[in-house]
Amino acid sequence: MAAGHDAQAAGEKVEALLAELRSQAGPQVASTAEELVGCLVELYGAGLAEIDDSIPRLSGARRNVNCSWEHKGKVMRRIMNDSDGRRRDLVDGVKIYLDDGSSALLIPDKERPLFHINTEAPTRDAAEGLASAYEKKVMAWRDEP
């Protein structure tokens, strides 16, 4: 990264992010983040802009599927069976990680009779395709006898 304005802007961005970390998570987390940034710069010999450029950007898509209260448990069991053997997180729903870096988060709404489907993928088309695929799965599981 060239010295000057870009370095100054990156430094200001880091300071703003660290201030946000301090206010939300406390000074210990911010200190750890500062140390991490320093290690990355030292390890890779890169400036913050290069590090930022190396972070993959993902596109997202969302769907909502109507699902009665009576069918939510059945759908959740089917989601668990379908994602068995895959990396997944089970917090407020099921987040399924795919090999290409994509993910699908399926959340039963706590107040309304529906499922939220949120996907992330390297491209907008891939995110939309993944959301459509899970939308079809949830509808099929919901409609099973």
Say if CB 1 and CB 49 are below 8 A apart. yes
User: Token digits for 44?
Assistant: 């890779």
pLDDT for the residue 4: 44
Same domain for 134 and 76: yes
pLDDT in tens, 112-145: 999 999 999 999 999 999 999 999 999 999 999 9
Q: Looking at the structure, tell me whether residues 16 and 46 fall in a common domain.
A: yes
Q: Which of 55, 62, 57, 64 is closest to 127 using CA atoms?
A: 62
Segments forming the whole domain that contains residue 49? 5-54
Residue 140, pLDDT score: 98
48 shares a domain with 85? no
3-class DSSP state of 120: strand
Verify that 40 and 71 share a domain, yes or no: no
Q: Are 20 and 73 contained in the same domain?
A: no
* Tokens standing for residue 138: 């949830």
Phi, psi of 103 (to 5 degrees): -150, 155
Same domain, residue pair 103 and 122: yes
- How many CB atoms lie under 10 A from the CB of residue 78? 17
Q: Which of 76, 69, 113 is nearest to 92 (CA)?
A: 76
What is the tally of structural domains in the chain?
2
Q: Are residues 80 and 136 in the same domain?
A: yes
Contact criterion met (CB below 8 Å) for 119 and 127: yes
User: What pLDDT, in 10s, does the model give residues 15-55?
Assistant: 677 666 666 666 666 677 777 777 767 766 666 666 677 67
Q: Are residues 136 and 67 in the same domain?
A: yes
- Let me know whether 83 and 139 are in one domain: yes
| Domain at 100, CATH number | 3.30.310.50
116 and 139 in a single domain? The answer is yes
pLDDT value at position 1?
42
